[in-house]
């Protein structure tokens, strides 16, 4: 009960100041802005003939600058399927142009925001590799260096972390570490390669590595990624996953919507590596109806998922609906 009251208080306070926060002069210090995501879903599992409503995400955060070379970020999840979570608590120092150090609870250098962040995802549900491999955040330090190779923007990133996911400052002998290199911008062609060593405990030690490629121009974008997790113990299986997804934004002149967003994705995940191919494949098609405002944006998204199962996988054992064909209706607000 106390957690729910605290969540409501935080949401009410930050929502009240969010309007004025958006008008803060970013040239004066200190400054701040408030952002948030509200993601509501209705799901119908056709294979088991059951349905449910969920508040999948209700995130609210604050970020800003202390001065010209330091900034901060804090973000909480008021309800992640009913659970309150602290997501981001970090500070960043930028001693010289292009170089920054972020310390605290922050993202690991492995995932793209457009695959794991609710406000940026192309579909209601994450791709397999963004959901089943590892937590997207940890406690540690992350260094980034941005520069140009000729006319090509480049970004080098390296992080050192506790290696026990979020909100758990454990003492460790062997910490997790990883890095990635990114070439290009979100507009146009972009490529990245990454590796992450995750020695969690005596029974769990994985090394993740992968690469992705995306291209975006005007209203069209296409993205693909592959990621492998190698278990360094005999108690867990290796896993391999990839996705290929694309969407085209169609501007419209309507009283209610600013654009249509048809999208399609094929993704697969495998742990047996046998001649049958990937253990689980999935085809997702969707249509979004969205509008943009100066401070708020939203999209109503309708997705359908078809699962093609060659071998049963333990990651889907939580309930029968996890690998059932699904119809999902999503209402997403971001500000």
The per-residue pLDDT for range 86-106, each reduced to its tens digit, is 999 999 999 999 999 999 999
CA atoms of 283 and 129, how far apart (whole Å): 15
Say whether pLDDT at 1 is over 60: no
**Are the beta carbons of 267 and 241 closer than 8 angstroms?**
yes
Q: Kindly state the helix (H) or strand (E) to which residue 3 belongs, with its residue range.
A: helix 2-21
The per-residue pLDDT for range 110-140, each reduced to its tens digit, is 999 999 999 999 999 999 999 999 999 999 9
Q: What is the pLDDT of residue 38?
A: 94
Say whether pLDDT at 36 is over 80: yes
Say whether pLDDT at 19 is over 50: no
Q: What is the pLDDT of residue 213?
A: 98
Domains of the chain are: 2-334 (2.40.160.10)
3-state secondary structure 15-40: HHHHHHHCCCCCCCCCCCEEEEEEEE
> What percent of the chain stands above pLDDT 70?
92
And the tokens for 180? 């990635």
Higher pLDDT, 297 or 224: 224
The per-residue pLDDT for range 157-211, each reduced to its tens digit, is 999 999 987 888 889 889 999 999 999 999 999 999 999 999 988 889 999 999 9
CA atoms of 75 and 136, how far apart (whole Å): 14
């Amino acid at each position: 009960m106390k957690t729910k009251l605290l969540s409501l208080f935080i949401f009410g306070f930050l929502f009240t100041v969010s309007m004025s926060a958006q008008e803060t002069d970013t040239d004066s210090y200190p400054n701040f802005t408030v952002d948030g995501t509200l993601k509501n879903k209705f799901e119908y599992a056709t294979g088991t003939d059951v349905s449910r409503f969920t508040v999948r995400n209700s995130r609210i955060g604050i970020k800003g600058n202390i001065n010209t070379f330091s900034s901060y970020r804090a973000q909480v999840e008021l309800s992640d399927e009913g659970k309150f979570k602290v997501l981001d608590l970090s500070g960043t120092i930028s001693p010289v142009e292009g170089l920054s150090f972020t310390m605290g609870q922050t993202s690991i250098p492995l995932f793209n925001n457009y695959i794991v962040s609710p406000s940026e995802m192309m579909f209601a549900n994450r791709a397999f590799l963004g959901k089943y491999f590892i937590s997207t955040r940890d406690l540690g330090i992350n260094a980034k260096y941005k520069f140009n190779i000729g006319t090509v923007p480049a970004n080098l990133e390296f992080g050192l972390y506790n290696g026990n996911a979020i909100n758990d400052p454990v003492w460790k002998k062997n910490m997790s570490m990883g890095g990635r290199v990114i070439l290009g911008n979100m507009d146009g062609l972009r490529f990245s390669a990454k590796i992450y060593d995750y020695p969690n405990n005596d029974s769990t030690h994985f090394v993740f590595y992968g690469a992705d490629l995306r291209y975006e121009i005007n209203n069209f974008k296409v993205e693909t990624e592959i990621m492998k997790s190698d278990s360094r113990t005999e108690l867990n299986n290796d896993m391999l996953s990839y996705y290929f997804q694309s969407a085209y934004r169609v501007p419209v002149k309507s009283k209610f919507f600013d654009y249509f967003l048809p999208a399609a994705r094929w993704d697969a995940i495998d742990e047996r590596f046998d001649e049958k191919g990937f253990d689980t494949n999935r085809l997702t098609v969707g249509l979004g109806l969205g509008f943009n405002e100066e401070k708020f944006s939203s999209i109503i998204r309708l997705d359908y998922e078809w699962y093609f199962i060659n071998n049963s996988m333990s990651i889907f054992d939580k309930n029968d609906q996890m690998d059932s064909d699904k119809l999902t209706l999503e209402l997403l607000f971001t500000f």
